[in-house]
Chains A and B, each alone.
Chain A
């Protein structure tokens, strides 16, 4: 138990994993057809170039990708679940941002 919580703590704070398995990189893959890059998973790699090659080998063996991004996991800044309410709130009280807010006479297509 104590062991596990130490592991978690050190991983949470560190940009680098503490062991010999090399840094963790998040992989984003862009499918053909102009869709945006999407998170596919992660790889361990010694540097960016080998991270890209590993990502190609692991996540793009069947024509899934026209482009791959890799980024060090520790370099990503993310919102936390606790932020969820207040952080995303401003959208909820602004219905006028949506087309359904505006009334159009019956029978007219706009």
Chain B
């Protein structure tokens, strides 16, 4: 009988092959791994890495959008953008608390983000230059996230899967509000149409890169798939996203910025031209257009929130004092 958090996995090395085999058999049988179950140290660490990166991405994802809250073109758009940014914060918290069940502290994870040692999705290192970018982010970036997260909702680790189920339910609103913005702009004045097309041109390739390197180049994929954390490969997910999105672009007469885009009759898939992986690695390694700016904004936000945390603690201490004085009386 023990407290429910965190998991009780003893760190033993080398790991007992029989235990690992039993663990892998559980995953093969479709069982869910829970925080207190035994798990290989490598599984635990892969999950901490993947889940904390995911949580950081939700948090950093608020920044490019927050940039447009004050400039949203109508009150309706402003309300939905505010709600969306609030959701991103909530999604970050769901996943942070899922990560904590693996025996790490949220504080540590946040420090890793603020000091730049942790990664987050590279997509958020691109700037939002016009209002249409808010549409493109909802449509493409959240659209890509949904494809990814729908798969992760079946991940072998229970707390991660459950956080994803909750997130997927909410994420559809993000995608639809983004697409609605694109629909409106695409049907607007020539200048608005150009704005929509320009946003699609800039966000299309980075959103395809969100699924990660080609299967052959992805160092973690095999292991994550073997352990049922991922159920589909990067390329499979990317293809699914392309097929969904090309049709949506055509429906509003926007042009996918890829001269090599073509339909493959045999596989019923849209085929794309080569992805610029040099750019991908450049941004991953910290040299994207906004890497510095995002981290600086995040650090400032954390520092500026200090007084709120201090005030909440002081208030709680005062309440506790009053309560105990009442009890004593």
Contact = CB atoms under 8 A, between A and B. Distances in A.
Interface stretch (B4-12, B122-130, B196-204): B4-12
B106 A73 contact: no
B21 interface: no
A84 B320 CA distance: 40
12 contacts: A4-B103, A7-B103, A8-B6, A8-B103, A12-B103, A20-B107, A41-B93, A41-B94, A42-B100, A44-B106, A73-B5, A80-B2
B94 A58 contact: yes
Contacts of A22: 313
A109 interface: no
A50 B107 contact: no
A106 B273 CA distance: 67
Interface in A10-58: 11-12, 15, 17-22, 24, 26, 40-44, 46-47, 49-50, 57-58
Interface residues of B, number: 40
A108 interface: no
A76 B103 contact: no
Contact of B36 (A11, A47, A78): A78
Sorted nearest first, the 5 A-B pairs with minimum C-beta distance are A46-B316, A47-B316, A8-B103, A5-B11, A78-B4
B89 to A, nearest CB: 8
Tier of interface size on chain A: 35 or more
A94 interface: no
Contacts of B66: none
Nearest to A78: B4
Interface string B82-93: 000011001001
A27 to B, nearest CB: 9
Contact of A76 (B3, B11, B100, B319): B3
Interface of B: 1-9, 11, 13, 34, 36-38, 86-87, 90, 93-94, 97-98, 100, 103-108, 162-163, 166, 170, 309, 312-313, 315-316, 319-320
Nearest to A74: B3
> Chain A interface mostly helix, strand, loop or mixed?
mixed
Contacts of B97: 24, 41-43
Interface in A71-88: 73-81
A61 B309 CA distance: 23
A1 interface: yes
Contacts of B90: 57-58, 61
B86 A61 contact: yes
B8 A11 contact: no
B250 to A, nearest CB: 32
A62 interface: yes
Contact of A11 (B1, B34, B103, B166): B103
A80 B11 contact: no
B96 to A, nearest CB: 9
Contacts of B1: 77-80
Contacts of B166: 40-41
Interface in A58-109: 58, 61-62, 73-81
